[in-house]
Amino acid sequence: MVKSWILQKKKRKDIRPYLLLTLPAFSLFLFFFIIPMLSGLFFSLTNWNGISQTWSFNGLANFRRMFNDPALYDSLQFSFVYAVLVVSTILPLSIILAILLNKIIRLKALFRAIYFFPAMLSMIVSALIWKNIFYHFIPDMGRIVGIEFLQKSLFSSKDTAILGILIIEIWQGTAIPMVIILAGLQSIPQELYEVATLDGANPGQQFRYITLPFLVPVLQMVLMLLIKSGILVYEYVFATTEGGPGRATLSITLLILHKALGYRGAKVDFSYGITFSVLVFAIIAVLSVIQLRLTSKREVGQL
């Protein structure tokens, strides 16, 4: 028995049928994913505008131009401020909602279903629904009630436009972190709480010493999810302010598309647009490395 097992192990498995299974699908991935990605990196070093037949290398000129472009700093500022706002509102809110939903017994499924519902809709539809609310309903309500500051749309001022977008994000973007954290809470063994209660630990202490340590991996994941979706926000801005007023809500994704495909009479400049996406790539790569570090540390810690 053991002998035949060893013999089987020693004989190299014939991998040809497995290659037949995998290579066609893998070459499609190379062709439609890896090649565009590499050609993106390549074209950021050229002056191709996307239309003309000729182009030439121009080294790092695109990058030099990008770092002197005030639009870059406006959009980086917006994207990072927005990401910070997204994290600092949605993270606590989704923790609170998950804890409350975990506590209640009656109507639990109903409340969970209602709170999750916004995640079912497309981001563009949510943004359009809220756009109407901000442009028509809230100002109308302000007029009826006679409150001055409600009469102006949030999107019409440079300082408040970001808040309008944040409200849409909170409305829709809390759902998924909430159910993930809820699942994390449900995985905590109940005996721990019973023992802690017997030992006289109050709810605050139980949260600090039982709930939080168990939730750390889940929270790290949610945090990364929120940071990325905050920095890369697109649909909400595109459907509501299109980056305005001025450049107040010009998210980095929107900026890439404006630069590369032309916007409001601006010149189409393909390779310059790609240069911005290389920067986004670098930012996301740094975040991903941090994320991987955190997760690998966690696994060591758990052992």
Residues 271-300 that bind another protein (CB under 8 A): 273-274, 277-278, 280-281, 284-285, 288
Nearer to another protein, 10 or 159 (CB): 10
Single-letter residue type at 250: L
Among 3, 9, 10, 103, binds another protein (CB under 8 A): 103
Nearer to another protein, 162 or 273 (CB): 273
Distance of closest approach, residue 88 Cβ to another protein, in angstroms: 18
Q: Which residues, numbered 20-79, are part of the site for another protein (CB under 8 A)? A: 20-22, 25-26, 28-30, 32-37, 39-41, 43, 50
Residues 77-96: x where in contact with another protein by CB under 8 A, - otherwise, as a string: --------------------
Phi and psi angles of residue 46, each rounded to the nearest 5 degrees, phi first: -120, 180
Per the CB < 8 A criterion, the answer to whether 226 and 86 are in contact is yes
Single-letter residue type at 274: I
Among 57, 73, 137, 209, binds another protein (CB under 8 A): 137
Distance of closest approach, residue 43 Cβ to another protein, in angstroms: 7
Using alpha carbons only, give the angle 284, 91, 235 rounded to the nearest 5 degrees. 55
Among 84, 183, 266, 290, binds another protein (CB under 8 A): 183
Among 87, 91, 165, 260, binds another protein (CB under 8 A): 260
Nearer to another protein, 51 or 159 (CB): 51
Mapped onto helix, strand or coil, the DSSP state of residue 68 is coil
The secondary structure of the chain in percent helix, strand, coil, rounded to multiples of 5, reads 75, 0, 20
Nearer to another protein, 159 or 245 (CB): 245
Whether the ω angle into residue 245 lies within 30 degrees of 0, i.e. cis, is: yes
Q: Which stretch binds another protein (CB under 8 A): 10-18, 59-67, 82-90, 150-158?
A: 10-18
Please give the DSSP secondary-structure letter assigned to residue 173.
Answer: H
**Cα 255 to the center of its chain, rounded Å:** 17
Among 218, 227, 233, 250, binds another protein (CB under 8 A): 218
Pick the closest to residue 241 from 163, 172, 171 (CA basis).
163
Nearer to another protein, 91 or 159 (CB): 91
Annotate 206-260 with DSSP letters as a single string: HIIIIIHHHHHHHHHHHHHHHHHHHHT--HHHHHHTTT-STTTT--HHHHHHHHH
